[in-house]
Amino acid sequence: MNKIKIQLSDVHKSFGQKQVLRGVDLDIYENETIVIIGQSGSGKSVLLKHIIGIMKPDRGHIYVDGQDITQLSEEELMKLSRKFGMLFQGAALFDSLTVAENVAFGLRRHTNLSEEEIQQVVKASLERVGLRGVENLLPYELSGGMKKRVGLARAIAYNPEIILYDEPTTGLDPIRADAINELILQLKKDLCVTSVVITHDMNSTYKIADRIAMLYDGRIIEVGTPEEIRNSSNPVVQQFINGRATGPIEEW
Amino acid sequence: MTRQVLGAVFENFFFELGQVFELGWQAFKSIFKKPFEKANFLQQLEEVGVNSLLVVSLTAAFGGLVFGLQTYLAFHRYIGPGSESQGGPIIAVGLCRELVPILVGLMVAGRVGSAMAAEIGTMKITEQIDALFSLGAHPVRYLVVPRVLASLIMVPILTLYGDVIAIFGGFAYNVLLMKVNKTLYVQNTLKYFEIWDVSVGLIKALIFGLVIAVVGCWQGMTAEGGAEGVGRATTKSVVVASIAILILNFFLSKVLPSTLR
Ligand SMILES: Nc1ncnc2c1ncn2[C@@H]1O[C@H](COP(=O)(O)OP(=O)(O)OP(=O)(O)O)[C@@H](O)[C@H]1O
Ligand SMILES: [Mg+2]
């Protein structure tokens, strides 16, 4: 097994009275693609934001390359963000900037590339997600799926070591969705990235996952290879991956 | 029961006051850190300054006219016909020290402070602020510092510009419209009116500019709960900034010396 890239240990997070994470433990290895599954509202997006340091846990620790990021100052976290690329669930494009400027944003701050090189990388990144000739459009001129792909181009442009994908294929047509799955596999192979993917799409989960982790009731209740998860004896996992309305999960 | 409610209100007030000071302090610390977000700064200079010119021109012109009108009437009725030219310095001092800074402050709070709250609030609820962070841009440095600096520079400049327009408005009403003796009016004005009167207005404007930008950004950064939340933040930024401006104005008038002579 590779070395541990990201380690979550006993991570707790509440919003007011609502306990979202109640002791998450998870090790993520270098160059693996781990898919996190779980019900809507179970705290997957919140978990992802903890890994990059946007949210701070109420309790517990998060280690990235052995460094406890919960102890870092904002300034140090900003520097660390160079390692991460994040695709947000709602794409989160900057709506006052053009597509090209959105994609160039991280390049300008995380790298020392010249203007010419930046434009080249922007173009190449957009092509990787299947977009051409959209550089000068503004986000409101894009369709939902295009926004998602621009968000992805922006996240991968500066070659981060770790990519966090929050529902990369939601809102894309099946062909595009599969192209994105291919891209995730490709990035892993070419650039040795470590990927954490949130998705509700079980087909793409089985296609891209080295391991699958299920978040339920604020904890990771099961982690394993797709094979192990498919054969899991945990009825909660079985109900979820088979998409049944009846079973031990009653709240939704 | 009422005591509890009052207690909660006070607690909330001081909590929010704390948030405002915290953000102001963070912005201040960030001013000297690299990189300086020049493009945003220039854009805000334009937004706060250039785009407010028309509004400021109109409010200052009519503020000056009406102030000239009331001062004329006061001298005409209470001191007697012929004494109206004594109103010159009163008009100039009143405009530069009080009316113009307040009008400019309120107009900019309504025009620009609200836009800051709305824009940053929208970015907050659509995760754009989180995205800034993930792409290596510090939200305070990227969004708040340029706005605060632009307001600090532009609100005093707008006030100075408004002073000129408003004083001319007062002059126009008295001299051009009501045929007050021009030479006396100007002489009286120059005799009592000091540079310090203008400076007081500009000091106030500087503080109002700070209040407007910090309050607008604070409301944006703490916006929550969808479009409705952004709407609330926008309204609140205007209300809070306007009230703060009026209250601060009184105390500044009280504290700043009335003359340096
Ligand atoms: N900033 C916040 N303030 C308050 N509550 C929040 C905040 N962010 C998330 N929550 C709450 O945390 C819970 C988990 O939210 P999260 O977005 O992580 O869900 P999710 O698992 O990503 O769901 P989905 O699959 O629908 O995206 C939700 O109940 C949500 O209401
Ligand atoms: Mg989510």
For residues B97 and B196, the answer to whether their CB atoms sit within 8 Å is: no
Give the pLDDT mean for B228-252.
96
The per-residue pLDDT for A252 is 55
Give the pLDDT mean for B248-256.
96
Q: How far apart are CA A168 and CA A170, in angstroms?
A: 6
For residues B127 and B205, the answer to whether their CB atoms sit within 8 Å is: no
Which is nearest to B253 in space by CA: A145, B245, B77?
Answer: B245
Q: How far apart are CA B62 and CA B56, in angstroms?
A: 10
**Nearest atom in ligand 1 to A42's CA:** 21
Q: How far apart are CA B82 and CA B73, in angstroms?
A: 12
The per-residue pLDDT for B35 is 79
> Is B133 within 8 Å of A78 when comparing Cβ atoms?
yes
The better pLDDT of the pair A19, B2 is held by A19
What pLDDT, in 10s, does the model give residues B174-189? Answer: 999 999 999 999 999 9
Min Cα distance A214 → chain B (Å) is 24
Q: Which domain holds residue B44?
A: 37-254
Beta-carbon neighbour count of residue B228 at 10 Å? 10
Q: What is the dihedral of CA B202, B207, B212, B217, to 10 degrees?
A: 130
Q: Total domain count for chain B?
A: 1
The per-residue pLDDT for A246 is 81
Choice from A11, A14, A45, A50 to test ligand 1 binding pocket (greatest atom count within 8 A of CB): A45
> Is B135 within 8 Å of A95 when comparing Cβ atoms?
no
- Specify the long-range contacts of residues B184-191, CB closer than 8 Å, at least 24 apart: B184/B85, B184/B88, B185/B85, B185/B87, B185/B88, B186/B88, B188/B85, B188/B86, B188/B88, B188/B89, B189/B88, B189/B89, B189/B91, B189/B92, B191/B89
Q: Please indicate whether residue A199, judged by its CB atom, sits closer than 6 Å to ligand 1.
A: no
Tokens 């990388």 correspond to what residue? A121
Find all residues with CB under 8 Å of A186, minimum gap 6, and list them: none
Cα-flanking dihedrals φ and ψ of residue B44, to 5°? -70, -35
CA nearest A90 in B: which residue?
B126
Q: How far apart are CA B145 and CA B36, in angstroms?
A: 9
- Does residue A215 lie in a domain region? yes
- Does residue A199 lie in a domain region? yes
Helices B195-221 and B2-31: crossing angle in degrees, nearest 10, is 110
- Does residue B132 lie in a domain region? yes
Judge whether residue B3 has pLDDT over 90: no
- Does residue A252 lie in a domain region? no
3-state secondary structure at position B142: helix
Q: What is the pLDDT along chain A (252 residues), one digit of tens a residue?
A: 679 999 999 999 999 999 999 999 999 999 999 999 999 999 999 999 999 999 999 999 999 999 999 999 988 998 899 999 999 999 999 999 999 999 999 999 999 999 999 999 999 999 999 999 999 999 999 998 899 999 999 999 999 999 999 999 988 899 989 989 999 999 898 888 999 999 998 989 999 999 999 999 999 999 999 999 999 999 999 999 988 888 887 765
> Is B134 within 8 Å of A95 when comparing Cβ atoms?
no
Beta-carbon neighbour count of residue B184 at 10 Å? 16
Count Cβ–Cβ pairs < 8 Å, chain A vs chain B. 54
The per-residue pLDDT for B235 is 96
Q: How far apart are CA A95 and CA B156, in angstroms?
A: 30
Cα-flanking dihedrals φ and ψ of residue B30, to 5°? -75, -20
> Across chain A, how many H-helices and E-strands are there?
9, 10
| Mean pLDDT (chain B, rounded) | 94
User: Among A81, A93, A110, whose Cβ lies nearest the Cβ of B133?
Assistant: A81
Q: Token pair of A242, please?
A: 């088979």
Judge whether residue B160 has pLDDT over 60: yes
The per-residue pLDDT for B91 is 95
Min Cα distance B128 → chain A (Å) is 5
- Does residue B172 lie in a domain region? yes
Q: Total domain count for chain A?
A: 1
Ligand nearest to the CA of A39: 1
* DSSP 8-state secondary structure symbol assigned to residue B155: H
User: Cα(first)–Cα(last) distance of chain A, in Å?
Assistant: 36
Percent share of chain B, pLDDT over 70: 100
Q: How far apart are CA B29 and CA B178, in angstroms?
A: 53
- Does residue B59 lie in a domain region? yes
Distance of CA A206 to the CA centre of its chain: 16
Residues of A in contact with B134 (CB under 8 A): 52, 54, 81, 84-86, 155
3-state secondary structure at position B168: helix
Distance of CA B80 to the CA centre of its chain: 37
**Nearest atom in ligand 1 to A215's CA:** 21
pLDDT-based confidence at residue B212 (cuts at 50, 70, 90): very high
| Paired strand residues for A202 | none
Which is nearest to B171 in space by CA: B40, B56, B46, B64?
Answer: B64
- Does residue B30 lie in a domain region? no
Percent share of chain B, pLDDT over 90: 84
Q: Which domain holds residue A146?
A: 4-242
**Upstream peptide bond of B35 is cis (omega within 30 degrees of 0):** yes
3-state secondary structure at position B12: helix
Give the pLDDT mean for B13-34.
89
Tokens 């140090």 correspond to what residue? A76
Q: How far apart are CA B20 and CA A160, in angstroms?
A: 35
The per-residue pLDDT for B260 is 84
Distance between Cα A13 and ligand 1 center (Å): 11
E strands within chain B? none
pLDDT-based confidence at residue B123 (cuts at 50, 70, 90): very high
Judge whether residue B1 has pLDDT over 80: no
The per-residue pLDDT for A238 is 92
Helices A144-156 and A99-110: crossing angle in degrees, nearest 10, is 20
Min Cα distance B124 → chain A (Å) is 10
Choice from A12, A17, A19, A20 to test ligand 1 binding pocket (greatest atom count within 8 A of CB): A20
Residues of B in contact with A159 (CB under 8 A): none
**CATH code where residue A116 lies:** 3.40.50.300
The per-residue pLDDT for A112 is 92
Q: Token pair of A111, please?
A: 């790298």
Residues of A in contact with B136 (CB under 8 A): 78, 81-82, 106, 109-110
Q: Token pair of A110, please?
A: 């995380």
- Does residue B147 lie in a domain region? yes
